[in-house]
Amino acid sequence: MAYLNRNPSDVALPVRIGLIGSGWMGAFHAESIARRVPGAVLAAIADPNLESAEALAGALGTTKVTADAADLLADPEIDAVVIASPARFHSALISQAAAAGKHVFCEKPAGLGLEELDAALAAVEAAGVHFQIGFNRRYAADFQAAKKDLAAGIAGEPQLLRSLTRDPGSGSIGHAARIPAWTIFLETLIHDFDTLNWFNEGAEPVEVYAVADALVEPGLRDQGFLDTAVVTIRYSNGAIAVAEANFSALYGYDIRGEVFGSRGMVQAGRATETAARRYTAEGMSADTPRLNVELFRQAYTDELVDFADAVRARRDGRSDDTAPASKPFTLTPGANDARRALAMALACIESVKQGTPVAVNERAVL
Ligand SMILES: NC(=O)c1ccc[n+]([C@@H]2O[C@H](COP(=O)([O-])OP(=O)(O)OC[C@H]3O[C@@H](n4cnc5c(N)ncnc54)[C@H](O)[C@@H]3O)[C@@H](O)[C@H]2O)c1
């Protein structure tokens, strides 16, 4: 038996993705691309910390490694990039990637100010490349089930919405000094803002009022560190939302969303790691999710499957007829979603500074 003589043009080419930033999130995305995203390959890794990039490349069988993202952007064998560097580099990297004709998946936030983000999104528009932002909660099965119900009108007109993030912790935050200012809004609650916007689709966030403090690490309050926050949001359809976050839940990683409306209520969020329960003389107990990469393992994978599908569709000259269009609700988070959520985070920062409610979109630059 000999090999069949296949016509190369009948063989689907993989989507070749370059990773920019090989830290905590980048490493997980790299593993997803290499092992769990059909039809995608991890073609190269760029990170100024070459040791980190080389270790990851070695583990995943990637041969191209560089300290400079420019090398990866100049590589004609790369179709698309996943940006998982620290947030302060995101807008510039999006602009450079778009100018190089690469499709872009960027971790949140897509920028730290609306001016830099607008410049990056203009570059995306001008280049005609696909852009996706890493709002992974949209890809979690329970959040999608809730969204499907909301799209079908199960909750009626939204009146109250709620979204919360409680990051896992030990009761103190050892690396607090390395956490950039305003992270709780720009990198944590920005997920909740997107969930609320997605759940309240068609309405615009009009005003935010944010209250925040250092309750886990009160010793850092004077330096402006914030680990706990509550935000109320008024939407253009009259709905009122609450988003809250804390950096140290002793019981693990706790993410929830809820819409209460004129006809009922829809909830998302998984309280236990599995459906297993322990019943003993002390009562009932269950394991709780501990890490983001455990709770959202499938969601982090599926957002990249969606990305690879969209890139493949564009590369092959098809309209993107895969995941998003086959769903009875909007899914893929793009440029407008990235901008709207960032505008809310920036308005929250202003609200904390002023101690008053602040209109969303008033403030363009951090
Ligand atoms: N979606 C989520 O749930 C989620 C979870 C965690 C982090 N994130 C986001 O992912 C991004 C990275 O966070 P992290 O926790 O992985 O940080 P990290 O510090 O673990 O990793 C960042 C990596 O980027 C590298 N880097 C620094 N400058 C770079 C540059 N100019 N070009 C390329 N690489 C550069 C660093 O050397 C490091 O390896 C952040 O925007 C963060 O908000 C998202």
Cis omega (within 30 of 0) for bond into 324: no
pLDDT at position 64 is 98
The SS3 call for residue 350 is helix
Angle between helices 50-60 and 24-35 (to 10 degrees): 20
Q: How confident is the model at residue 319 (pLDDT cuts 50, 70, 90)?
A: low
- Give residue 1's pLDDT band: very low, low, confident or very high (50, 70, 90): confident
Cα 235 to ligand 1 centre (Å):
31
Cα 170 from Cα 172, distance rounded (Å): 6
**CA 352 – ligand 1 centroid, Å:** 26
> Whose alpha carbon is nearest atom 1 of ligand 1?
134
Tokens found for residue 37? 């995203």
| CA proximity to 120, closest of 95, 90, 97 | 95
Pair 23, 84: CB distance under 8 Å: yes
Domain locations in the chain?
A: 8-136+299-334, 138-291+341-359
Place of tokens 């069949």: 4
What pLDDT, in 10s, does the model give residues 26-85?
Answer: 999 999 999 999 999 999 999 999 999 999 999 999 999 999 999 999 999 999 999 999
CATH architecture of residue range(s) 8-136+299-334: 3-Layer(aba) Sandwich (3.40)
Q: Which atom of ligand 1 is nearest to the CA of 134?
A: 1
Bigger pLDDT: 315 vs 69: 69
Residue 225 has pLDDT above 60, yes or no: yes
Task: For residues 128-139, give the mean pLDDT.
Answer: 98
Q: Which residue has the higher pLDDT, 321 or 235?
A: 235
d(CA 16, CA 40): 6
* Ligand 1 centroid to residue 85 C-alpha, Å: 4
Pocket of ligand 1 (CB under 6 A): 20-26, 46-49, 52, 69, 84-87, 89, 107-108, 134, 136, 187, 292
Round the average pLDDT of the chain to a whole number and report it. Answer: 95
CATH code given to domain 138-291+341-359: 3.30.360.10
Write the DSSP symbol of residue 189.
I
Rounded mean pLDDT, 345-355: 98
Q: Which atom of ligand 1 is nearest to the CA of 87?
A: 41
**Phi and psi torsions of 283, nearest 5°:** 130, -150
Global pTM value: 0.96
Q: What is the pLDDT of residue 365?
A: 42
Residue nearest to atom 5 of ligand 1 (CA): 25
Residues in contact with 241: Cβ distance below 8 Å, sequence separation at least 6, in sequence order: 160, 161, 162, 163, 196, 200, 232, 233, 234, 235
Q: Tell whether the model's pLDDT for residue 322 goes beyond 90.
A: no
Question: What digits encode the pLDDT tens for the residues 156-173?
Answer: 999 999 999 999 999 999
| Pairwise pLDDT comparison (138 vs 12), residue with the higher score | 138
* CB 256 within 8 Å of CB 267: yes
The token pair at 211 is 């209250």
Task: Name the residue at shortest CA distance from atom 25 of ligand 1.
Answer: 21
- Which of 179-193, 283-297, 313-327 is least confident? 313-327
Amino acid at 194: D
The pLDDT score that the predictor gives to residue 364 is: 46
Please report which confidence band the pLDDT of residue 8 belongs to, taking 50, 70 and 90 as the band edges: confident
284: number of Cβ within 10 Å: 8
Please give the share of the chain, as a percent, with pLDDT higher than 90.
89
Ligand 1 centroid to residue 361 C-alpha, Å: 26
Instruction: Give tens-digit pLDDT for 326-341.
Output: 678 999 999 999 999 9
Is there a contact between 345 and 190 (Cβ–Cβ < 8 Å)? yes
For the segment 271-300, the average pLDDT, to the nearest whole number, is 95
Separation of CA 23 and ligand 1 centre (Å):
5
Nearest-angstrom CA–CA distance, 7 and 29: 32
* Paired tokens of 174: 């050892």
Number of the ligand 1 atom closest to the C-alpha atom of 109: 41
Residue type at position 273: E
Give per-residue pLDDT as tens, 185-220. 999 999 999 999 999 999 999 999 999 999 999 999
Quick one: DSSP state of residue 328? S
3-state secondary structure of 196: helix
Pocket residue to mutate for ligand 1, from 47, 54, 88, 342, most atoms within 8 A of Cβ: 47
DSSP-assigned letter for residue 184: I
Q: What is the position in ligand 1's atom list of the atom closest to the CA of 27?
A: 16
